[in-house]
Every structure is written in structure tokens, then in C-alpha cells.
Amino acid sequence: KNEVEQSPQNLTAQEGEFITINCSYSVGISALHWLQQHPGGGIVSLFMLSSGKKKHGRLIATINIQEKHSSLHITASHPRDSAVYICAVLNYGGSQGNLIFGKGTKLSVKP
């Protein structure tokens, strides 16, 4: 079993829909990252969370440490949101580079 599991693996949505991507992990963590990877391969860091909730524009990320679960929400989705969204956790006590990555959720938003 992978230490970081994401669901769904693939997601197709219509423009304007509310989208949720889930991440569950099985290790103790000190932080969780949500990353966005565009088709060309470049990665952008969206959020780093250690508790609670963060919001940036149409993106919202939440984390429940007790349940070892995080969600990424996209409100009013748009075709430009189409990308792979990756959840990554920093293992408790690990160096910042020692992230454990999920396999990603491929999102496609249709106009």
C-alpha cells in the first residue's frame, strides 16, 4: 500500500463545476503539500499545510491531521485548471526534501 493515496486518479469536469481531490496518508507528517503539474512537466507549489485550511483564489485546501486526510477544492473550475494535482507529505522529522508523493490526480476541465 502506498504511503500517500490520492483519489480520484482521473477526473473530468465541466467548466464551472466544484471539484474535490482527496489525499490520504499513512505516516506521521509535519506538513502536506499540494502541487500542480502542467502538461510540460513544470510543477507549481499551491499550498503547504500543517493544520486547518488555506485559501488562494478559487483554490481551497484542508487537512485533518487526526484522520490523516487532506482535500483540495477548486471552485468555479475553468479549462486552465486542467493539470495533474499532486499531494506530497513531509515525513515527520524528515528533511524538507524528503517528500513522499502521491501518484497525482489528472484533472481535465471541459469548456
Q: Site residues (CB under 8 A) for other proteins?
A: 4, 31, 33, 35, 40-45, 48, 86, 88, 95-99, 101-104
DSSP lists the bridge partners of residue 1 as none
Closest CA to 6 of 84, 77, 95: 84
Between 42 and 111, whose beta carbon lies closer to other proteins? Answer: 42
**CB 38 → other proteins: shortest distance, Å?**
9
Task: Identify which of residues 48 and 65 has a Cβ nearer to other proteins in the complex.
Answer: 48
Q: How far is the CB of 48 from other proteins (least distance, A)?
A: 5
Find where cell 471541459 sits: 110
**Could you tell me if 43 and 37 are in contact, meaning their C-beta atoms sit under 8 angstroms apart?**
yes
CB of 75 to other proteins, least distance (A): 22
Residue pair 27/100 in contact (Cβ under 8 Å)? The answer is yes
Give the type of residue at 79: P
Given the C-alpha cell 485546501, which residue does it identify?
Answer: 61
CB closer to other proteins, 14 vs 26: 26
Least CB distance from residue 18 to other proteins, whole Å?
Answer: 26
Residue 38 or 110 with smaller CB distance to other proteins: 38
Q: What are phi and psi of 85, to 5 degrees?
A: -105, 125
